[in-house]
A = this chain, B = another copy of it.
Amino acid sequence: MSDPILYAHSQRERYLSELQAFLRIPSVSTQPEHDADTAVAAQWLADLLRAAGLENVQLIPTAGHPLVYADWLHAGSGAPTVLIYGHYDVQPAEPFELWYTPPFEPVVRDEYVYARGASDNKGQIFAHVKGVEALLQANGRLPVNVKFIVEGEEESGGASLAAFIPQHKTMLAANVALVSDSAILSPEQPAIVYGLRGICYLYLDVTGPARDLHSGSFGGGINNPLNALAHIIARLKDEEGHILIPGFYDRVRPLSAEERAILAQFPLDEAAWLAESGAPQAWGEPEYTLVERLGARPTLDVHGIIGGYTGPGGKTVLPASVHAKLSMRLVPDQDPEEIRHLFTQYVHSITPPSVRVTISGGHGAPASITDYRIPAMQAARAAYREAFGREPVLMREGGSIPVVGQFQQHLGMETVLMGLGLPGDRIHSPNERFYLPNFYRGIEASIHFLQRYASLA
């Protein structure tokens, strides 16, 4: 037996080189032209898990991209089991022209590795692969049983894993789930996310005339789908951020005074946060603090609109149709299916008969909250203290990790969200990056977590 922390330290160069190889694979799950790349990423990860000493390594075929599974289950009777989750797929890299270096040619600059997926989620899941490898290489065993489940559709809705979980409860059974797919506040201030927003993602098409019409000949006598879309969107959310869909807030669990006090302690540097966003000013529901608006309040945002003539110069058409993508971020206890129903009903009710609307897609996931008093939460706090040298703060995160709700619902399992990213990682944006000191500390935190959890659980 040797020290896994020392072992991990000695392997940093190899770990970085392997992470860069992982980042070179353009596993964009939402774009069919990258299907083959996504399959390559799954196989590559499976090979690395096997090399790390994991057992039962397998690619599980699905209707979409395969799941990668591996385990090590020899910790002995009475030892708890940890299910480590992550995803090997990445967001689309568009718009390419805004990247300083190509998104799938990782480069290291100023202690960051730059690439699509560096932080979300390849760098973060890889820290656990390497934490487990260090324990197995140094000690020949793990202090707890470990299962890995890594999906390839997190950025495109996660349908395959969502279908898999309820049908494979024994295979995935564990005492707690461990997920690193979020951000801490700074390299000096770790954070544990105890709440996540859910999501309801939809496509909205508005159609009018059968084809693009001359706006001189028909203008004034035909409702324009682009103008009609604007009226619909404007009636979904007011200019202060209040969502206007009847019933939308009915199931929102009110923030307790205790929780508002916890969130008020969260050390958000609003000026730095705003500078990071590049927006002219912060914005949102005036009756809530910025921290509350970002993590504990639901939202409605349009993600894309395309319609009519969008080439160079002008063209005077009444467009036949327009396509919009939008989502609502949800909080406990909103139900994505009910929200989709309320949205659909409301949009139909405000759409005039002079145009037609079609609502379709997308995907949904409920919000989730984890009780921060459970042993795995204590183990995570200790692991952060040891790896980062500081007590983590508690926070609610605005993003959605749908699998957390699914673990809760089908496996009765709480999830510990031990983020390793930073707020400036530009996930989903051009020039995504991952802070390498967090990668190395993350490997150590993974080791500490498994050791601590063995003694606390």
Give A contacts to B, CB under 8 Å: 30-32, 91-92, 94-95, 98, 156-157, 183, 197, 199, 201, 203, 208-224, 226-235, 237, 239, 241, 273, 277-285, 290, 293-294, 297-320, 322-325, 327, 329, 352-356, 361-363, 397-400, 423, 426-431
Q: Is the CB of A199 within 8 A of B239?
A: no
Q: A217-B183, A277-B218, A312-B30 are in contact. Are A317 and B303 (CB under 8 A)?
A: yes
**Whose C-beta in chain B lies nearest to the C-beta of A401?**
B216
Find chain B residues with CB under 8 A from A31 CB.
311-313
A237 to B284, CA, bound (A): 25
Question: What are 9 A-B pairs with beta-carbon distances under 8 A?
Answer: A209-B277, A212-B430, A213-B429, A217-B397, A219-B294, A219-B398, A224-B302, A316-B428, A317-B428
Q: Is the CB of A314 within 8 A of B327?
A: yes
Q: Is the CB of A233 within 8 A of B227?
A: yes
Q: A221-B293, A277-B209 are in contact. Are A302 and B308 (CB under 8 A)?
A: yes
Q: Is the CB of A226 within 8 A of B313?
A: no
Find chain B residues with CB under 8 A from A235 CB.
234
A422 to chain B, nearest CB (A): 11
Q: A229-B230, A397-B216 are in contact. Are A314 and B208 (CB under 8 A)?
A: no
A179 to chain B, nearest CB (A): 14
Q: A215-B303, A283-B354 are in contact. Are A316 and B199 (CB under 8 A)?
A: yes
**Whose C-beta in chain B lies nearest to the C-beta of A277?**
B209
A444 to B308, CA, bound (A): 38
The CB with the most chain B CB atoms within 10 A, among A317, A329, A400, is that of A317
Q: Is the CB of B92 within 8 A of A398?
A: no
Q: Which 8 A-B pairs have the closest CB atoms?
A: A210-B278, A216-B399, A304-B308, A230-B233, A234-B234, A30-B313, A226-B302, A306-B310
Q: Is the CB of B156 within 8 A of A329?
A: no
Find chain B residues with CB under 8 A from A293 CB.
220-221
A241 to B220, CA, bound (A): 7
Q: Is the CB of B280 within 8 A of A356?
A: yes
**Whose C-beta in chain B lies nearest to the C-beta of A322?**
B305
Q: Is the CB of B217 within 8 A of A398?
A: yes
Q: Is the CB of B309 within 8 A of A314?
A: no
Partner of A305, one of B215, B220, B308: B308
